[in-house]
Structure formats: structure tokens, C-alpha cells
Amino acid sequence: MESIRILLCCGAGYSSGLLAQKAKKAARDRGISASIDARSEAQVESFLEKIDVLLLGPHYASSLEKFQELARPYGVPVAVIPHQVYGLIDGNALLDQAIELKNKK
């Protein structure tokens, strides 16, 4: 069984929390063992040694390089969640993005 540990970085957390729930359901439906959490920007650093992928809410696109630098020592790839995936709260697409990012590293 494939497994993946994903952290979503968000602001207030409502949309990202909902997206995390949808992605967890998608993972269960697909037989993937997944840990998917949504946390605030201030909490990201404390999770870096425990995750495979860091995905940023679209509103953090301008901070992508900052998060990539923060995650580099841990070997954690970082990407921005596309607006459409975030806006539609598409758990399957988020899971696909995370798996693709993990497999690239």
C-alpha cells in the first residue's frame, strides 16, 4: 500500500481543513495510506521532518521560495495548490498533485 504524509499550509484554515478532509477520503477510496493535515504558516516548520510533501494555499504563492528554502534541509518538496483545486475543494486532484510531487524527489 502506498503511503504519503501531506501538510497543507493555510491562513485561517477553514478551506484547507475541508480540502484535507476531502483528500483523506480520496486516499481511503483509492487504498492509499495518507496523513493529511492543514496548519497555519507559523506551524509549518515544526512539521517538516514528519512530512513527505508541503502544499501551499494559492494565497501563499508569493511565498513559495521562502517555503522551499525552509523545507530544503528536510528534502520536502513544496508546491502551490492550483486555484481550481483549492476553489473546488477537489481532494482527488490534491492527492494526485501530492503523489506526483513526492515521486519527483
Over residues 9-60, the pLDDT tens digits come to 987 666 888 999 999 999 999 999 999 999 999 999 999 999 999 999 999 9
Q: Are 5 and 23 within 8 A, CB to CB?
A: no
- Reading the block at residue 10, the C-alpha cell is 493555510
Residue boundaries of the structural domains of the chain:
3-104
Pick from 6, 11, 18, 12: nearest CA to 88? 18
Q: Are 98 and 4 within 8 A, CB to CB?
A: yes
Q: Which helix (H) or strand (E) is 103 found in, with range?
A: helix 91-104
Q: Which of these is catalytic: 6, 7, 9, 10?
A: 10
CATH (one of 3.40.50.620, 3.40.50.2300, 3.40.47.10, 3.40.190.10) for 3-104 = 3.40.50.2300
Indicate if 9 belongs to the active site. Answer: no
- pTM of the complete model beyond 0.85: yes
Q: Which helix (H) or strand (E) is 46 found in, with range?
A: none
